[in-house]
Structure 1
Amino acid sequence: MNINNPTADQETHFFSDVCKNFDHAAQFTKHDAGLLDQIKSCNSVYRFRFPIRKGNSFEVIDAWRVEHSHHQSPTKGGIRYSEMVNEDEVMALAALMTYKCAIVNVPFGGAKGGIKINPKSYSVGELENITRRYTVELIKKNFIGPSIDVPAPDYGSGEREMGWIADTYATMNPGQLDALGAVTGKPISLHGIAGRREATGRGVAIAVRECVSVGEDMQKIGLTAGLSGKKVIVQGLGNVGYYSAKFLSEFGAVIVGLCEFEGAIYNEDGLDVEAVFQHRKSTGSILGYAGAKQEFKNTMDGLEQPCDILVPAALENQITAQNIGSIKAKIIAEGANGPTSPEAEEAFYKAGGMIIPDMYANAGGVTVSYFEWLKNLSHVAFGRINRRFEENSNLNLVNMVEGITGVPLTPIQRATIVKGASELELVNSGLEDTMIRSYHEIREIYKSNPAIGTLRNAAMVGAINKIAVSYQNLGVWP
């Protein structure tokens, strides 16, 4: 089978859409056609099946791991647990990871994994069995390792599953000093990193804040500069959607709508994100929340309500040619991977809107995963060596200034100035710097050639150029 053309019985739209975006952006570069084909193609696709015991019977599980690009080592990407997983989807997500890492200057190639199950249909013990068996299969084929391929959480998986993977890999590789670097998104107790859980959502919020801060761009789409008071609808109240909404609210936006698979709620005066989250946790649904003025049984109806910014943070292909005409937002910030079809994007730009592309907007997760990987390789937490030294240095400086001026600081002022940075503060600082720098890199490319047309094309042009340089520096391409 040609790994870049999956069999006809599978859904083949997602990888094709990613390749269309690539081909369109590639025309604005000057690279050799063969090199462009190498960058676009999936290098390795591993499809496998394994049996598990479920009750008194056996069940065969379908699974995948795709390594899209080896221009950087290791490759990096999450593992999705979903009944909708298929080879085309995993290939598309792996490709997006390659471009995403290049966009935010994280030195990984792209990869992705998928296990075709509904996690809710299995006990904790069965999920552990599936996860550990999946890991063993990857180990057997050399598809996992701190310098080979580093998985992470994705839709349907989380810290618990990453902990199982870490333990399985370490057990199968006794004495390997960097074994815990074989997977990221682990619990803190297993040498994960502070801030990883909320990293993708925080990154989305920073991306939106940075985009709307540019007055020139906002004027073109009919908005004022700044996030304060902007009305936002978020689709998805999972990890990415919840933290996107939480941090956007903290940055000054008003969350007017929240959408989940069971329906949507809306209030033009704003919703309390934490209260909605707790309501859903206790009732199993966002519907029935007392602070909502409108409810919709159809999730898509929630996306079409009045707002300035729409954040689709659920699954791919949510905004299509069929519903884009009903979207009232001026900005779509893609928290999910591939939520907007190419046809919908074209129509949205023609209508005067702007899309913050997934390849950039949701790169916060892989950015902080990179920090976790570095932490695991260095075997020391960020801030552990220098935090106390910084505090003592700052304290000496404060004492000297107070002695010279004769003006004592209040205890709160003193604590604020003296405090050294914690791991979480360093991680958040690194994430914010990454998202801000990367946005303006994309925007400069976007402004450099009007024919590029969209931020997605600009982001892809930048990614292609960086990956091409990597291949040339490796001596793979002249």
Structure 2
Amino acid sequence: MSVMGTTFLESVLQTLKRSIELGGYPQEVYEILSRPQRIITVNIPVRMDNGKIQVFTGYRVQHNNALGPYKGGIRFHPEVMLDEVIALATVMTLKNALNGLPYGGGKGAIAVDPKKLSRRELEELSRGYARALAPFIGPETDIPAPDVGTNPQIMAWMVDEYSKIAGRNVPGVFTAKPAVLWGNPVREYSTGFGVAVWAREAAKKLWGGIEGKTVAVQGFGNVGYWAAYWLTKMGARVVAVSDIGGGVYNPNGIDLTAAKAVTDKTGTVANYDSTGTRKITNEELLELPVDILVPAAVENVIHRGNANNIKAKLIVEGANGPTTADAEEILHKKGVWILPDLAANAGGVVVSYLEWVENLQWYFWTEEETRNRLEAILMNTFNRVMTRWNKLGPANVTIREAAYVEAVDRIYNAMKVRGWI
């Protein structure tokens, strides 16, 4: 997907290249990390409800495993492009390294609109994908999870299919499963919780605290809703939310419970109504006079065409790649803090890691214990990124570049001691 000329993969590689230069690492590091170790393409035949066979194309990009098994989500989306999957896999390598997880990065995708499939067709496709990838994945090899268009039910079908092939239960091969199939209950809200924790910590540095700060959230799905929920619990005021159907703005604040009920009932938060609320577009939401902006929908929504109109002082990336490289340059010059995706939305993969550890040892923590472990890892990452940013010089370096340098440092050292470079 491209806006104003820069693709997501180009943005990722630009930032990677600059971070390798900033950190003073050898050029070979870029040579290795700018391309994945393996790309698997699978074609999955599914007998549709009309009796005909339809073949779906799927991918699994295994980017780098210097720090451990490949780890990353699977997305079901009609506009899946391989270069986008490569970009997402690259970001996963960096995200896992940054957060101190024992993982490399991977990403999977199938070109399909899951909403157009019946439940039976969706199950057959999900099981077919797990079967096709079975030789290439496993608890010590590659551990997929949900992403856009997939969910815990799809993971349940996939873990069941893989377990049938293995001849035993193998819960650790997929994460974000339903709780009854060895999933962790924190996983549902973990990404949104992580976004809120990063926003809260940055707000302390910017304003002395998050209490009373206004927030606009683009994307009212799992990440956006839970980010809004936890930000509200932390004392912020969510004044605007939107989804694919449009958005709403109320300077006095949005009643999230009511907004969620409207969304569940009608399919879009744009139908939410209360005194003082007005309808807005997704584009308008980005330019509202708020303190904190959370883009939690799709990539490249903040680009050089609208960067100058953004009024928020703090942008917290709930989505993967919502800000293009040229937009970031403009916003950085304006003094806007952008908390990057590989840090701010890492709550999901951190809890996936905790779930995987539970699965490997067949021992489970309580929800509160898991959330405390998650918060401790997120806070540790936040403090390391801020220390690195201050060391590199905030005037000339973005927070994203500092996060990339922090991540590359760990991958570089792992590759070096392995003898890869």
Shorter-chain TM-score: what band? over 0.9
- Distance in 1 separating the partners of 2:305 and 2:25: 36
TM-score, normalised to structure 1, is: 0.85
2:383 matched residue in structure 1: 440
Is residue 82 from structure 1 mapped to residue 82 from structure 2 by the alignment? Answer: no
Equivalence map 1:314-329=2 (5 Å): 314-329=297-312
The answer to whether the Cα contact below 8 Å between 1:152 and 1:184 also exists between their aligned partners in 2 is: yes
Whether 1:162 aligns to 2:163 is no
Moved more, 52-61 or 326-335: 52-61
Q: Which residue of 2 aligns with 1:256?
A: 239
| 3-state SS, counterpart of residue 144 of structure 2 | strand
Moved over 6 A (4+): none
Q: Is the 8 A contact 2:33 2:90 kept in 1?
A: no
> Residue 28 of structure 1 contacts residue 452 of structure 1 at CA under 8 Å; is this kept in 2?
no
* Paired position in structure 2 for 1:133: 128
State how many pairs are aligned: 417
Residue 43 of structure 1 aligns with an amino acid whose one-letter code is Q
Per-residue CA deviation, residues 384-442 of structure 1 (Å, 9 max, x unaligned), is xxxxxxxxxxxxxxxxxxxxxxxxxxxxxxxxxxxxxxx11111101111111101100
Q: Which amino acid aligns with 2:167?
A: P
The amino acid that maps onto 1:64 is Y
Structure 2 spans left out of the alignment, 5+ residues: none
Matched ranges for 1:289-308 at <5 A: 289-291=272-274, 293-296=276-279, 298-308=281-291
1:94-153 CA-to-partner distances (Å, cap 9, x unmatched) read 0000000111101100000001111110011100000000011101xx221001100001
Identity %: 37
Q: CA deviation at 1:297?
A: 5.4
Output one character per residue of 1:20-62: Cα deviation in whole Å (capped at 9) or x when no partner.
Answer: 0101111112222113311332111112222211222221211
CA–CA distance in structure 1, aligned partners of residues 102 and 356 of structure 2: 11
Distance (whole Å) between structure 2 residues aligned to residue 297 and residue 329 of structure 1 = 17
Partner SS state of residue 287, structure 1: helix
Letter in 1 for 2:388: I
Q: Which of structures 1 and 2 has the bigger CA Rg?
A: 1
Q: After superposition, where does 1:33-48 map in structure 2 within 5 Å?
A: 33-48=27-42
Letter in 2 for 1:469: N
Mapped to 1, the partners of 2:123 and 2:6 lie a distance apart of: 30
- Measure, in 1, the Cα distance between the counterparts of 2:310 and 2:276: 20
Aligned to 1:334: 317
Q: What is the match of residue 191 of structure 2?
A: 200
Q: Is 1:186 the counterpart of 2:177 in the alignment?
A: yes
Q: Please tell me whether the aligned partners of residues 104 and 360 of structure 1 are also in contact (alpha carbons under 8 angstroms).
A: yes
Native 8 Å contact 1:446 1:452 kept in 2: no
Which residue of structure 1 lines up, in the alignment, with residue 367 of structure 2? 424
Q: What TM-score comes out, normalization by structure 2 length?
A: 0.96
1:292 deviation in Å? 5.9
1:454 maps onto 2:398 in alignment: yes
SS of residue in 2 equivalent to 1:68:
strand
Give the alignment partner of residue 269 of structure 2, picking from 277, 283, 286. 286
Separation (CA, whole Å) in 2 of partners of 1:40 and 1:71: 14
Q: After TM superposition, list the pairs within 5 Å mapping 1:25-424 onto structure 2.
A: 25-54=19-48, 55-139=50-134, 142-175=135-168, 179-214=170-205, 218=206, 224-291=207-274, 293-296=276-279, 298-382=281-365, 423-424=366-367
1:397 maps to: none
Pairwise CA distance, 1:259:
1.1
Q: Which deviations, in whole Å up to 9, do the C-alpha atoms of 1:164-207 show, x marking residues without a partner?
A: 011000000014x6x11000000111011120111100011001
Question: 2:225, 2:279 → 1: CA distance?
Answer: 19
Aligned-partner Cα distance in 2 for 1:51–1:185:
26
Task: Tell me by how many angstroms 1:15 deviates.
Answer: 1.2
* 1:289 to partner: Cα distance: 1.9
Cα RMSD of the aligned pairs, angstroms, is 1.7
How far off is 1:288 after superposition? 3.2
Q: Distance in 2 between matches of 1:292 and 1:92?
A: 43
Deviation at residue 63 of structure 1 after TM alignment: 0.9
Task: State how far apart, in whole Å, the 1-side matches of 2:117 and 2:41 are.
Answer: 22
> What CA distance in whole angstroms lies between the structure 1 residues aligned with 2:323 and 2:219?
15
Does the Cα contact within 8 Å between 2:220 and 2:269 map onto a contact in 1? no
9, 21, 30: which one aligns with 1:15 = 9
Letter in 2 for 1:457: E
Residue range with higher mean Cα deviation, 45-54 or 18-27? 45-54
Show structure 1 runs of 5+ residues with no match: 1-10, 219-223, 383-422
Report the CA distance shift for 1:476/1:288 in structure 2 as closer, same or farther (over 3 A).
closer
Aligned-pair CA distance for 1:294: 4.2
Q: Secondary structure at the match of 1:62?
A: strand
> In 2 relative to 1, CA 59–27 (structure 1 residues): closer, same or farther, beyond 3 Å?
same
